Structure 1
Amino acid sequence: MSLIVFPAIDLKGGQVVRLAEGDMDRATVYGDDPAAQAEAFQHAGAEWLHMVDLDGAFAGASVNGAAVAGVLQRFGGKIQLGGGIRTRESIERWLDLGVARVVIGTAALKDPELVKAAARDNPGRIVVGVDARDGMVATEGWADVSDVSVIDLARRFEDAGVAALLFTDVGRDGLLKGCNVEATVALARAVSIPVIASGGVADIADIHALRPHVADGIEGVITGRALYDGRLDLKWAIEVAKG
């Protein structure tokens, strides 16, 4: 089995951006054509794309829908989408439009039955976003930190049929500090659900570090800023991830 590399496109005001530690005031703009960026990733070999509607995550509803629709038209692979997806209607709407998987974060903590029902009706297409600050779950676009531990939240979905857990170490996201491999692997070993690593990927060393843990349940890794800053070559990362 190989590790999936998910290049990330984060949307703010229709533009491709990266945030530092999830702070909307610390956004770096990398382009104003998300669909063109998606095509570039596809040419480098990407079979999956991870997209986040950042405005949607804070608003609690889709804001950058037009940009997502544009990417859906031009990217030939599969798209995993998160950001403000908190109702059954929004889940079904995106799946019907052709998104392969939707990521549900805040609602997973506040309305777990919504997630379980959606996963039951859409097997393999619901991902639970587990965002952590010092081991505790962060919600509302990471603005709030709960008193629920990451592993406790993950275990609530153990038999729900979710496709994967997307684990983000908020304190590293967008900072190129290196992925928190230890915490990601600990989560993967604690549950039977596949885990996607996210937050802090700095260079090819992170791909090398995660690759041996596919057997522990690490399904993939999301990388954004390292690609945009030229620190990580996507084609090379995909080759290393395939082993």
Structure 2
Amino acid sequence: MKIFPAIDIKDKKCVRLIKGDFSQKTEYQMSPVEQATQFIDKGFKNLHIVDLDGALAGETVNLDIIKEIVSKFDFKVEVGGGVRDFDSIQEYADIGVDKIILGSAAIKDKNFLKKACKKFPKKIALGLDAKDGKLSLSGWKESSGISTLDFLTEVNDYGISRLIFTDINKDGTKESPNFDETLKVAEISNCPVIISGGVSSIEDIKKAKTLKNIEGVIVGKAIYDGDIKLEELAKEDA
């Protein structure tokens, strides 16, 4: 089970949102680079980064900060937020990002997703952010009206290397992930799935370990608020 501590960047700071709502934003004292230092010092091997400014702007905004983290630390980094074209994917690939997450652009244009998977083999992760079973777009500000499972079925054979499933209703709430919906996604996905949204305890991690086709778990707010101790979490990272 891979543990992905999360760094969400907004205005060059680490922040956490509740249910993707920018008006319910908590800023934390540590800079993204300082936070990454803490994670590497505890022995984590993977890192999940979201460029929230990028998600809102529809383009990469915090490339300089992400480049510093990737070059400075020995993480396998996955990055999402505002990746809308091949140039953005290439920028992240060039600085050594392990997986580039496509979300809104992939949902709006399945052909773009298909071409990206072919052009950047083993580099493309698909981010499916859902609310009440429907996919959301553009920093979660709008609903696509598209069923999560229907969309996945359509793109399942494109060569996606990883799928990150987030239940927006759970994100930032620390109410435990939506395991039932995640299981439905994992059962039909051709690639391994990462659980995102609502992780509140080590028990959530241990439950995730029992599920089929689950590659890892993203942990955010529970770390920043001290509900999960980094030392304890690091022991689950393998």
Which TM-score band (shorter chain)? over 0.9
Displacement of 1:32: 4.4
Displacement of 1:241: 5.0
Query: Which residue in 1 is equivalent to 2:233?
Result: 237
RMSD: 1.2
State yes or no: 1:121 paired with 2:105: no
Asked if 1 retains the 8 angstrom alpha-carbon contact of 2:162 and 2:192, the reply is yes
Query: Which residue in 2 is equivalent to 1:223?
Result: 219
Q: Which residues of 2 match residues 172-187 of structure 1 at below 5 A? A: 172-187=170-185
Q: Which residue identity does 1:28 align to in structure 2? A: T
State yes or no: 1:208 paired with 2:206: yes
Whole-Å Cα distance in 2 between the matches of residues 143 and 217 of structure 1?
29
Relative to structure 1, the CA distance from residue 55 to residue 176 in structure 2 (aligned partners, 3 Å threshold; closer, same or farther) is: same
Percent sequence identity is 39
TM-score of the superposition, structure 2-length normalised?
0.96
State yes or no: 1:165 paired with 2:130: no
Displacement of 1:239: 2.4
After alignment, is 73-82 or 49-58 more displaced? 73-82
Whole-Å Cα distance in 1 between the matches of residues 230 and 215 of structure 2?
17
Whole-Å Cα distance in 2 between the matches of residues 146 and 62 of structure 1?
22
Q: Detail structure 1 runs of 4+ shifted over 6 Å in the superposition.
A: none
Asked if 2 retains the 8 angstrom alpha-carbon contact of 1:130 and 1:165, the reply is yes
Stretches of structure 1 lacking an aligned partner (at least 5 in a row): none
Q: Which residues of 2 match residues 185-196 of structure 1 at below 5 A? A: 185-196=183-194
Asked if 2 retains the 8 angstrom alpha-carbon contact of 1:4 and 1:238, the reply is no
Query: Which residue in 2 is equivalent to 1:76?
Result: 74
Q: Which residues of 2 match residues 1-20 of structure 1 at below 5 A? A: 3-20=1-18
**1:95-151 residue CA offsets vs partner (Å, 9 max, x unmatched):** 111111110100111111111111112221100110000011011111111221111
Query: Which residue in 2 is equivalent to 1:198?
Result: 196
Asked if 1 retains the 8 angstrom alpha-carbon contact of 2:3 and 2:236, the reply is no
Whole-Å Cα distance in 2 between the matches of residues 189 and 170 of structure 1?
20
Displacement of 1:73: 2.4
> Which secondary structure does the structure 2 equivalent of 1:172 belong to?
coil
Asked if 1 retains the 8 angstrom alpha-carbon contact of 2:44 and 2:237, the reply is no
Asked if 2 retains the 8 angstrom alpha-carbon contact of 1:14 and 1:32, the reply is no
Q: Which residue identity does 2:34 align to in structure 1? A: A
Whole-Å Cα distance in 1 between the matches of residues 226 and 7 of structure 2?
15
Displacement of 1:12: 0.2
Displacement of 1:59: 0.7
TM-score of the superposition, structure 1-length normalised?
0.94
**1:141-164 residue CA offsets vs partner (Å, 9 max, x unmatched):** 111112211111112221111111
